[in-house]
Amino acid sequence: MKNIFFVEEKKTWLKCLSKYVKPGKIVEFGCGSGFVLEVLSMDFADSIIVGVDKSMERLEKVVEKGLKNVILVKADITQNIFPDGTFDTALFVGSLHEVFSETFIKIGRDSP
């Protein structure tokens, strides 16, 4: 029950976020299993949407959704994999905290 509420709530605020998305070429860094890509794919049917994630398992879940205007890239989002100006809009939804957690763990591990 709690999960259904969360999904509906997330869809609602994603609709608000959509107002700030410029159609064309859109990228979501850390797309996971495609919750956001699904909403973008519907709201921006004429755009090219790229989802980037390091987890093949999650990307395979996106493939199962059969989103027509979505291209997937398996990559580390801390690396500069696209040239500047490739996208009209770049989104990070629930992914940056994971990047920073990993960075702090690495710094902690590598420091004397």
- Residues of this chain that interact with ligand SAM (CB under 6 A) are 30-32, 35-36, 53-55, 58, 76-78, 93-95, 98-99
Measured from each CB, the residue nearest to ligand SAM is: 32
Q: Give the ranges where 19-95 is alpha helix by DSSP (H).
A: 35-43, 56-65
Q: What is the side-by-side order of every strand in the sheet holding 25-29?
A: 70-74, 48-53, 25-29, 89-91
How far apart are CB 93 and ligand SAM at their closest, in Å? 4
How far apart are CB 42 and ligand SAM at their closest, in Å? 15
**Maximum Cα–Cα distance across the chain:** 51
How far apart are CB 18 and ligand SAM at their closest, in Å? 14
